[in-house]
Amino acid sequence: EVMEVMSRFAVIERASIDEAYLDLTQAVQERLKKMKGQHIPVEQLGTTYIQGFPNNLEEEENTDNKEEMRQRGVCQWLTSLPFGDPSNPELQLTVGAAIMEEMRAAVESVTGFQCSVGISHNKVLLLVF
């Protein structure tokens, strides 16, 4: 049932009983065409964490609130993206993250199950991380 919901968003390669790889390439390219250079609202990344962000140690010292830190990191990341360049790998990853937010919400809504997601430029990098 979970795999069925996930298949609405991307091509799936089942890795085990509870793991799968999703190829978001086509979905990301289609989404970027529809966006036409528009920015991704921070609200579309409501559970996304960006590794290494915020990248300002001073910002990290100003709060103990993990959610506030996550939001700062996402905002900092989004302001660094070249939204007019659909070939930019970081922008592509960010669009992939937005699609995964939608997929996770759909999985929970349809099945009642929660799932976690990690994204990378390719499967090899994902396996290393």
Residue partners of 108: CB distance under 8 A and separation at least 6: 114, 115
pLDDT tens digit string along 22-41? 999 999 999 999 999 999 99
Tokens 């799936």, residue?
12
- For the chain, the structural domain boundaries read 1-125
Would you please indicate which residues are annotated as catalytic (active-site) residues?
19
Q: 1-125: which CATH topology?
A: Alpha-Beta Plaits (3.30.70)
Q: Find out whether 15 and 105 touch, Cβ atoms under 8 Å.
A: no
In a 10 Å sphere around its CB, with 0-12 CB exposed, 13-18 middle and 19+ buried, how is residue 87 labelled?
Answer: exposed
pLDDT tens digit string along 71-114? 999 999 999 999 999 999 999 999 999 999 999 999 999 999 99
Q: Is 64 helix (H, G, I), strand (E, B) or coil?
A: coil
pTM of the model as a whole:
0.86
